Structure 1
Amino acid sequence: MFENVEDYPIDPIMIGADLFAQDPRREKLNLTVGIYQDEHGRTPVLEAVKLAEQQLIETQSSKAYLPLTGDAEYCSLLGREIIGDAYNARWVAAQTSGGAVALRVMADLLAQLPEPPTVWLQAPTYGNYVPILTAAGARHQALPYYDPLRSELTFDQMLDGLKAARPGDVFLMQGVCHNPTGADMSEDQFTALLDTLEALGIVPWIDLAYLGFAQGFHADCSTARRIAERFPECIVCITLSKSFGIYRDRAGALFIKTGEADQERITRAVTAIVRSGASHAPDHGPAVVRTILQDSDMKALWLRDLNQMRERVARTRERIVATEQDMFGTDRLAYLVRQVGMFSLLPLSAAQEMALTRDHGIHIVQGGRINVARLGDEDVPWLVDAVCRTMSRPSR
């Protein structure tokens, strides 16, 4: 039987991690990781998280299953925190095992509609969208969002491509700190996108994975709030892995805004899909989040640490640009300071990506993605020197 199993595509990030582990050199740099790391290469446990966990140890009275859609109090707190005043009884909410399960539940729901919509994607975009949509059997199509070699958005092309969409189709976008490009839409561009979606009858689906890493937590919620206030139907998926530093504890949520007459049916549909897949969501991470959001002192500590992480990433971007100016007098990486979040794309050809690893020991994700947050102060000159020398050679 098993000899008939065909090869599955391998995640480029996993390939990058494997190649780094196999590299025998002592002097090597791994920029493939998808998590925040401090200047010492550590992923710290935030002080507020430790306090919340201690409180849970002392007060939690049961480990029984939660309802299939999770802890209603967690969902309500999170909904009000992120969606704001637009969060009301018209929303269907479910606690999920991180953002990936929220995405998969929604993909399953769309694929099971009598007339399944097309999900329109930005390209390049988060590497797990296509596998999730494909596994669910959901229709999807990509639109050009960013030119990696020119390091700029192809926004007008994306809007032109949306003209092929039908009313009732869905547009899946990232709210802030676009992964893998680091290039977010401007305020004017985001407004123009919403205008286009509304005019064409396309349902917005926003994925929020890096809240707090662009302009600050509350400012980063504005994209979801603008959508929620404007559209009668919309979808919001959330993961809190990065915002709270609880990657392995899988805290996420799915929010669906519906018409009042549709709410009970959508709730039953979400419940059935959750039951057939992840079943009950893990509770530890969401319980930590709930505890922090309910305590003003813990919340203040969390926001302080989140701001410090955001500011360090921004300083690292500035340091890369300044280092290139000092070392080479050029500005080929100047675009990095205009971008936000942990990730960006280096403007390299496939051959140059290979050369960067082969000649300099710097491992990046296929397609040029680097994790800026992984860089320590001593790593920046290494990266700048290697990238600039690699870019100066002919691309083969």
Structure 2
Amino acid sequence: MNIGIHDLDVATTHFVLDLDEMAEALGIDPAKYEKGLGQDEFSVPAPDEDIVTMAATAASRLLSRHDASKIRMVLFATESSIDQSKAAGVFVHGLLGLPQAVRTVEFKQACYSGTAALQTAVNHVARYPEDQVLVIASDVARYAVVSGGEPTQGAGAVAMLISADPNLVVIEPGSGVFTADVNDFWRPNDSSTPYVEGKLSLDAYMNAATGSWDDLVARRGLDITDIDRFLHHQPFTKMARKAHARLGEHVGADLGPELIEESMTYNRRIGNSYTASLFFGLAAQLHGNPDLAGKRLGLFSYGSGSVAEFFTGIVQDGYTDHIHPETVREALDSRVPLTFAQYRELHASYIGASDNVEVPAVTAAPFRFTGITDHVRHYEAR
């Protein structure tokens, strides 16, 4: 049975910061961001936006094209969780008005958990072929100001519908996995921003890429030449390029940049979206090349700490009839530019506590976070 990604859609935030604006304000050569990181800008949430509002927006666009009664699970992947107990997907379930006969769960393992949710969905459909599963990866990457991570912030959500006989990509059985206990990136419960060990993080990412590839080869006997395009997790796009080059050195092959560059166009503009990053890359790959039918994609998913998976998918015939690049263009081009001072003010006004608060309406998106009453978060659908 062929099982995989039947449809996908995306959402990002109301605001955007151009990295040239940050470079000028900090007296930094813009090339440090454009070439050194491979980034041009990053999405910034309005006060009434979070992982739930972005997830609901992406999912509502997707479900407008499908029969929601077929959905039996909602799997929400994030490392920006808004509650230590209640799954963010439960809020989304309510906002979308999904049937109550649905299993809803939140997945967490840094940036990797979107892939864990995807594989769980594939396994469910293998057992119940008539079911469909809604997988959502949604995150806000928020770093401390005046830190190395500040220009690599971002935010976004990708919603995917997993089914039998998918329109877009069949996920092939057998993947390579890798786990190593590494303190390269982590966010304690009492911190609103993560801690990062830069060099260790890069080394852990590279080791996970080669380690998960080796496990994939051992399980399936694939050769590097069996992969037509590569998509890597993109905390910033230059990091994915480094992983691509390291993989080529590891297997003794010349992996040209043309095998990865098409997947980077959206992430250059969105910034880091953690669990959604790899799947923004997939969207960019499908939207940017009309000649992928029958081609095999190699996808490397990484989450700090660290867990990784290398898996493959076959792009389906007729996929270009089921993609919606105009949605992404509209989401990116309609963002409101911020000055550096405005961005820093928004960053400082982050609501991390559960005190009572009423949030002003800013976003034009169809869903918004309205505030907190008696420690309960409230949302509205417009």
Q: TM-score, structure 2 length as denominator?
A: 0.29
Higher helix share: 1
- The TM-score, its normalising length taken from structure 1, stands at 0.29
